[in-house]
Amino acid sequence: MIDHTLLKPDATQEQIAQLCQEAKTHRFATVCVNGAWTSLAAELLHESGVGVATVIGFPLGAATTRVKVFEAYCAIDAGATELDMVLHVGALKSGLLSEVYTDVRQVVEAAAGRALVKVILETGSLTEEEKITACILCDLAGADYVKTSTGFGTGGATEADVLLMNQYTRKSVRVKASGGVRTAEAAHAMITAGASRLGTSSGVQLVTGGEGQGY
């Protein structure tokens, strides 16, 4: 259930290699990395059972749809099995709902049959009504997951948001909790609320009983 995450801009090749080794050791679902490290992660995790998640339009979500689609194609060609794209929050807040839908839909179409798509809502920046609208749009656009946070914005995952996101998406759309999931207790709370995936840089600490920095 854990996406073992390292998205810091100064992450080194050695740290990415360590991330992949930890993911294999603890049988995490994926590693989640920036696009520049996708091919390395895919090579290191080949036939390991651990997937590679690459972020798209990260961390602001304000790139054009064309750029996001191009990023998606590049990531999949480099070995990504999952794409964590950032919602265009400004468009949502502007009421440009067709643009938000199209942005997600075109990435979903680019990934069809090749990679799962998770849409990061950046819940800390949204009102409850905006969260509900975002969930409905992502569901209609064919997203596989809705996800709470980038870890670079305001706020992180909350039980209330996970419950809300489950309420306003169909059962086929899963929820990923990310942002501040640092302890086993926090992870358990998110899972109990309905999260089926956790995004965290503290994955090793979660499964060994320690406490980490969180993502």
Query: 68, 118, 131, 176: which one is catalytic?
Result: 176
3-state secondary structure 33-60: ECHHHHHHHHHHCCCCCCEEEEEECCCC
Kindly report the backbone phi and psi dihedral angles of residue 34, in degrees, each rounded to the nearest multiple of 5, phi listed first.
-70, 160
Q: In the annotation, is 93 catalytic?
A: no
Query: 103, 144, 147, 161: which one is catalytic?
Result: 147
Q: In the annotation, is 68 catalytic?
A: no
User: Given the structure tokens 């938000």, which residue do they identify?
Assistant: 100
Q: What is the Cα–Cα distance from 174 to 146, expressed in whole angstroms? A: 6
In the chain, the N- to C-terminal Cα span, in Å, equals 15
Q: In the annotation, is 147 catalytic?
A: yes
Asked if residues 190 and 178 have their Cβ atoms less than 8 Å apart, the reply is: no
Helix axes 159-167, 184-193, angle to 10 degrees: 20
Query: 3, 84, 103, 161: which one is catalytic?
Result: 84
Catalytically annotated residues: 84, 147, 176
